[in-house]
Amino acid sequence: MICLSWTSLSGLATAEQPNVLFISVDDLNDWIGCLKGHPQARTPNIDRLAKSGTLFTNAHCGSPACNGSRSAIMSGQPAYVSGMYDNLQKMRTVMPDAELIPKYFSKHGYWSAGSGKILHYIIDAQSWDEYNPPKETEDPFPRTLYPEQRPVSLPRGGPWQYIETDWGGLDATDEEFGGDWLVSKWIGEQLSREHDKPFFLACGIYRPHEPWFVPQKYFDQFPLDEIQLPPGYAPDDIDDLPPAGKKLARNRYFAHIQNEGQWKQAIQGYLASIAFADAMVGRVITALEEGPNNDNTIVMLWSDHGWHLGEKEHWQKYTGWRVCTRVPLIVRVPPGTSGLDEGTQPGSVCQAPVSLVSLYTTLIELAGLPAKASLHEPSLVPLLKDPQTTWPHMAVTQLMSPENYSVSGSRWRYIHYANGDEELYDVESDPYEWNNLAGDPKFAEPLSRLKQHGPKDPAEFVPPAPSSLTKLKWHPAGSTSVPASNPDGNRFNVTFTNRSGQPVKVFQSVGDQTPQPFGVLESGWSKPQLTRPGTVWLIMDTNDQPLGHFVVGDRTAQAVIPKP
């Protein structure tokens, strides 16, 4: 009988292989001290981590939305390869066989565990050995304290508005708030104990994702009368944008926030939420440094995408501009690590354009695990060895459909829209992208060069299955009065599914006028219908007796008509 030791198993982890601490901070743009995105940002713990490792100052997300970005990072498959473009898609519908980072590490002898938001509102239980909350729940969020009455600061501008766009200080301690404090507590406990295997440990910090409710002490760090506007804001910034750029730039959120006199209050909420997130990162890093695993643990900190706070007259994300694609990325590798024996140089800075989709490839090489052929972005290990080394690559950020993307180089940035519109910026002299150079023949060469790095034959968009969509609330007839329709916002599909056991008639409510009929939906049938936020849809039986109604929310959904 032959006894195999850990170290003798080819391709499996050995006791000497490094641990990985993988920290995600949601919706964090460059408003951290070491990236100097906003002069008032307070992030001493993230800055401390940057001083102990390598800071990438030109890192970009694979997609400017949570789902596309996180799916690309965790699978190593950019959206233009996988077809995973949109927040409404489901990762396992689009990529049913993708082997995520934790699964690959687990397969090679690691203990893979996590807490908080790493994927887009799911855990993907099959990919983890352990999770907190338990992976079987598929809910990555621990209990979190929110105000009983909302909105607190920003009145709803209409049915088009995301309900979580709101902010305010809470009369609570960090522990009472829960949320990221509980995530950092659980992660800290894992870091503070010894393990019989190397570990891949993922920590998902949710703030500064909306809503920006955190304990009041974080708001107190940023007195309202001292709040400064975003450095990248210019009132005439969108004048030189092509039509597609202007359409994407100006959205209702920013105008509504300005009209309500809440711009500085919102900035305060974002800064306070960043400060809270930084404190939670500090708890995790301190637990690592004071525990038994510090000398053998790689640390990666990243954000899934940036965030607009008025730049380009835009609020939120979903754009190809630098404020939305550029993200914090910090990597600390201890000496003696399999793939980088000398470790990272403390305080080193890399300005090369890199993509977060490279993190999978990079971790595999650092850990000394077998290469994985399906990964699509180069390893960052050469840059960790020498941040000034030649780097021929550019970073592609895929927007919400195949033909919309941006390309980030060392000096130039290019944005391409599906209708052929283009933008070009020299970020060396114009870091806030105020001057679109795409129409100037003098800059035809850099435009053409960056365009060559755009996706070739991008994967088609895979629409979400109706069953995977958010379900609209069904209001049975007589249970509540039927409100007036208030259609307001962009059009999108709602899929009506009839599970009532009988044919039904579908009508659109149009105020005081006779409801507009949209035909009969047979029992068991589903049918998509273009609609707008705030529209009321009435459901009747074939004798025109009311069965109930739906009120359309702010996004694509499924309207399921139940049995009476």
CATH topology of domain 20-393: Alkaline Phosphatase, subunit A (3.40.720)
Q: Which helix (DSSP H) or strand (DSSP E) does residue 269 occupy?
A: helix 263-290
pLDDT of residue 88: 86
Spell out the residues 6+ positions from residue 419 whose beta carbon is closer than 8 angstroms to its own: 243, 244
Burial of 173 (0-12, 13-18, 19+ CB in 10 A): exposed
Active site residues: 66, 120
Does residue 4 have a pLDDT over 50? no
Is residue 467 very low, low, confident or very high in pLDDT (cuts 50, 70, 90)? confident
DSSP 278-320: HHHHHHHHHHHHHSTTGGGEEEEEEES---EESGGG-EES---
The class (CATH top level) of 466-561 is: mainly beta
* Residue 14 pLDDT level (bands cut at 50, 70, 90): low
Q: At residue 55, does pLDDT exceed 90?
A: yes
Domain spans, the chain: 20-393, 399-452, 466-561
Query: Any idea what the Cα angle at residue 465 is, between residues 462 and 471, rounded to 5°?
Result: 135
Any residues with CB less than 8 A from the CB of 445 and at least 6 apart, and which?
none
pLDDT at 470: 87
| pLDDT digit string, tens, across residues 305-340 | 999 999 999 999 999 999 999 999 999 999 999 999
Q: What percentage of residues in the chain have a pLDDT greater than 70? A: 97
Domain 399-452's class?
alpha beta
| pTM of the predicted structure, to 2 decimals | 0.90
CA–CA separation, 394 and 410 (whole Å): 8
Interval 69-122: pLDDT, tens: 999 999 999 999 999 998 989 999 999 999 999 999 999 999 999 999 999 999
Question: What value does the mean pLDDT take over residues 170-197?
Answer: 98
Answer whether 20-393 and 466-561 agree in fold: no
| Residue 222 pLDDT class (50, 70, 90 cuts) | very high
